[in-house]
Amino acid sequence: MEKELLIKKWLNNELNDSEKVAFEKLDDFKINQAIVENADYFKASDFSEIDDFETFKKQYNSHRKPIKKLQWLNPLLKIASVLVVAFGLYFMLFQNNITQVKTAAGEKITVALPDESQVVLNALSSIQYNPKQWNEKRSLSLDGEAYFKVAKGERFDVVTENGVVTVVGTQFNVKQRHNFFEVKCFEGKVSVVSDTIKRLLHPGQTYRIMNHKFSEGATTAATPKWADNMSDFESVPFKEVLAEMERQYNIKIINKNMNVDRLFTGGFVHHDLESALISITQPMNMTYELSSSNQVIIRGKNN
């Protein structure tokens, strides 16, 4: 039986037993019943009654919540959808093509770039580059320290937080740590730009910015010593030496009664912790103590 006929007969109290069962099974049964029951709480005017089906139908429809349709042709939504697609394409085409290489504490690795250039990464360092765009633009970002052997070709850029190093084909070392930026040229020519300071380095020349102070120097080495498992320093604050030792040995150094800003010249090996500690403490009139497997205490002798 049709739904509207059942409701009409129910309002007129004309349902038989089988029709009552069918009516109570309707999805709207509870709503219909509530409308009529609630109507009893209100006093009707002398000329308005809810006693016919058409009047009931209007009241029933007034209780139904309208469904709002989403206006897909809204200009703002169209713009938003275009932006979503554009960002999706950008990340799919560009971000997913970025190659990142990282080293852990005490780790060194050699990375072959698409043009057969080589990058030797020191401990706790990383590089990022886009291999698909390498032939058009040889550029990578560096955080930490790396030794570069650049194949001849177009311009080659190393971008760091402290400056940009540009070459065509050469061998050089770049070290970028907290408040420390240093470039050493071993072969060819290297252009370095940091803030307003620009220099063209030849083999054996060095460029350094330490604690915001610029200096130039020289080196007689053919390659960086850390690549042969030995860190060397020339007039650097002792805290830089301690930080490098932590990176190479994956340890925590606690200093007591020390002036970590004292300048240090010397070095330490990467394969023997005790020998390394002796190398840096004796020249500075300090002692050390191995307090655990990954913790060292260094103190002045008068403590």
Tens-place pLDDT, residues 160-197: 999 999 998 899 999 999 999 999 999 999 999 998 99
CB of 36 closer than 8 Å to CB of 12: no
Give the CA-trace dihedral at 259, 263, 266, 268, to 10 degrees.
40
Per-residue pLDDT band for 71 (boundaries 50, 70, 90) equals low
Tens-place pLDDT, residues 103-153: 999 999 999 999 999 999 999 999 999 999 999 999 999 999 999 999 999
| SS3 per residue for 188-231 | CCEEEEECCEEEEECCCEEEEEECCEEEEEECCCCCCHHHHCEE
Q: Spell out the domains of the chain, with CATH numbers in brackets.
A: 3-62 (no CATH), 100-226 (2.60.120.1440), 229-300 (3.55.50.30)
Model pTM greater than 0.85?
no
Distances (CA, A) of 40 to 12, 13, 23, 33, 116: 16, 16, 21, 11, 90
